[in-house]
Structure 1
Amino acid sequence: MPIPSSAHNQAPVGITTWLRSLLFFALYNLIGIIHSLLCLAAAPFQDFEQRYWFVNLWSQVTMWLLRKINGVSIEVDGLENIPKGQPVVVMCNHQSQWETFYLQLLISPQATILKRELLWVPFFGWGLALLRPIAIDRSKGSQALKTLLRVGQERLREGISVVIYPEGTRQPPGSIGSFNVGGAMLASRASVEVLPMSHNSGDCWPGRSLLRLPGTIRLRIGKPIATEGKSTKQITAEVEAWIRQHYPGELRAVGPA
């Protein structure tokens, strides 16, 4: 018997999709718990590059589970646009957890801007902390921006790219929210380029849902955008325009989830 559709998909979601989604959820969490404990045990004996690779074995397994259990394929356009041997600020739209996993594999090494509460999540947060993310307190706006700029420039000087989701929170499938200027400000102050990315991950891995829907996640990577001589507003507007223009699907709405 069909089950009512999810909010982003007009077609009813069948029992098989629900069962596969629950199986993915169970295996994803079980493997994540075991792996995070192994990461913590191994961390004292690894340098950052080794730790980064070991922690992201879970990311690789997650993508494998998503393909094998849920029938989700991934298509990437623009891999040749990723700079070699130089750090960038990656700015990407945000719809689900998928991009937080996949971009860890695509841009390596990297530091992700995230809310500090994520580091408190048992197992998942512990492993995440080993990757040296840039954790900010969103309740303290000016202090959060200072942390982003200070720590972000440190990471970039170390040759580590910084990934930021300028909408600040996950958006529904088919929508892109308004952008904040933090990522553009960081890139400008560090004199590095911005690498724009656009994707439709919410079509297959909707945020705040157990469902994992079969289909194709398409990720488009643009050419690096220069920041020299531009204001943060100009950079933000240019990146946002590219992400909207290259979104792999129809944009239906604007605003937070």
Structure 2
Amino acid sequence: MPAKRVIPCLDVKNGRVVKGVQFKELRDLGHPVDLARRYDAEGADELVFLDIAASLENRGTREAWVRDVAHELSIPFTVGGGVSHVQDARSLLRAGADKVAVNTAAALRPALVRELADAFGRQCVVAAVDVKRDAELGWRVFLKGGTEPTERSAVDWIQELSELGAGEILLTSMDRDGTGDGFDIQLLDQVSQLPIPLIASGGAGREIHFLEALEHGADAVLAATLFHEGILPIPRLKAYLAQNDLSVRI
């Protein structure tokens, strides 16, 4: 069985790493290169960088900091934000990213996922899906940094993404994002039944939350504030997971 992965997420705006609560009240946490260097040394399995303003501002992710990060890292990293065409992805991959993440553009034009998978292989394509609990749909998919609701249910959309050629899903519960109350386990139980690797995001506050997510079908767990602010060091988290019989890279 593949080792479970621990992935810090770095939201980038104007070339700086930021973090908020439920996608709001953003705080500056530093430069992407500085945090990337630190996480590499701490034993993170991968990093995810999301340019959270790119879709709202109708532009691509800036390549300069991507290139700078690539020079510092020995672990894989994903970059998302403003990837609307194959050429956008090609530019990021050439700048040093290992994978690209798509969200809004894929929902507006699902064929983009297949085009990316055909061009670079599905292992390079991460589909980011932001959702909120919804009485009608179970979990409703949101676009443009969580600002725009759609009529898609999370389960149906993730199934379609898998069929289109996405290599894995980065699933964020907007209800839990930044709260520290734990991942949405009911959501993970639903989505983990689908035939695609799953990165759980949104809500981690303690070691046990990561364990619960991995025991409920997630292949990887992602967090930001806990790692950025040193509340839960990655070595301590991995030791805890290993003590609870999960396979992780120490």
TM-score interval (norm. to shorter): 0.3 to 0.5
Higher relative contact order (CA 8 A, sep 6+): 1
TM-score of the two chains, using structure 2 as the length reference: 0.34
Decide which structure has greater strand share. 2
TM-score of the two chains, using structure 1 as the length reference: 0.33
Rg (Cα) greater in structure: 1
